[in-house]
């Protein structure tokens, strides 16, 4: 299985498992491209969370988190804030999901710290914990076919 196939399998598993956790996660079309200057990267998943009323772009990368990954996500958040936010929406929050060897890391990226309920009670602990748990499960599920030599498919 190539890195591209593994990434696709992880994203598929993550997409399904997050929507199973809560119907509040609504998926916006996959692989939303953002071009900034000469750099083009893809936001792998974009969710809209109905209860929180905000967009949540998700970027999956293999390897260590770099400062430019965080800066790039902040640019994406500012772009969503400026062009895609609707009246009544909260500011978007982003997640960078890093997979390296046999460990995963989830980084929450926000434009600024919110002092209200959403930041303290939904984002900082439970939402990040959900992404950590679901990323780990998705990686395990996606790697199963590698062990058995199968083509990825959720059962």
Q: At what angle do helices 3-21 and 128-148 cross, to 10 degrees?
A: 130
For residues 53 and 39, give the distance between their C-alpha atoms in angstroms, rounded to a whole number. Answer: 29
> What is the reported pLDDT for 35?
59
pLDDT at residue 99, rounded to an integer: 94
- Domains, the chain, with CATH or none: 3-148 (3.40.1350)
Q: How many angstroms separate the CA atoms of 73 and 41, rounded?
A: 10
Residue ranges in the chain whose pLDDT is less than 50:
116-121, 151-152, 154-155
Give Cα separations from 150 to 8, 15, 116, 122 (angstroms). Answer: 15, 21, 47, 38
pLDDT score of 31: 54
DSSP letter for each residue of 58-87 = EEEEES---HHHHHHHHHHHHHHHHHT--T
Q: What is the pLDDT of residue 60?
A: 93
Predicted pLDDT of residue 119: 47
Residue (of 123, 60, 120) closest to 93 by Cα position: 123
């Amino acid at each position: 299985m190539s890195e591209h196939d593994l990434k696709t399998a992880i994203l598929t598993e993550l997409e399904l498992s997050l929507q199973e956790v809560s119907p509040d996660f609504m998926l916006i079309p996959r692989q939303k491209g953002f071009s900034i200057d000469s750099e083009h990267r893809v936001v792998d998943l974009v969710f809209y969370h109905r209860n929180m009323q905000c967009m949540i772009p998700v970027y999956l990368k293999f390897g260590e988190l770099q400062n430019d990954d965080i800066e790039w996500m902040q640019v994406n958040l500012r772009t969503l804030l400026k062009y895609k936010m609707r009246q009544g929406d909260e500011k978007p929050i982003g997640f960078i999901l890093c997979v390296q060897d046999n460990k995963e890391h989830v980084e929450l990226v926000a434009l600024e710290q919110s002092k209200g309920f959403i930041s303290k009670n939904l984002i900082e602990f439970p939402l990040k914990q959900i992404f950590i748990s679901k990323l780990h499960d998705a990686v395990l599920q996606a790697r199963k076919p590698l062990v058995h030599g199968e083509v990825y498919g959720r059962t």
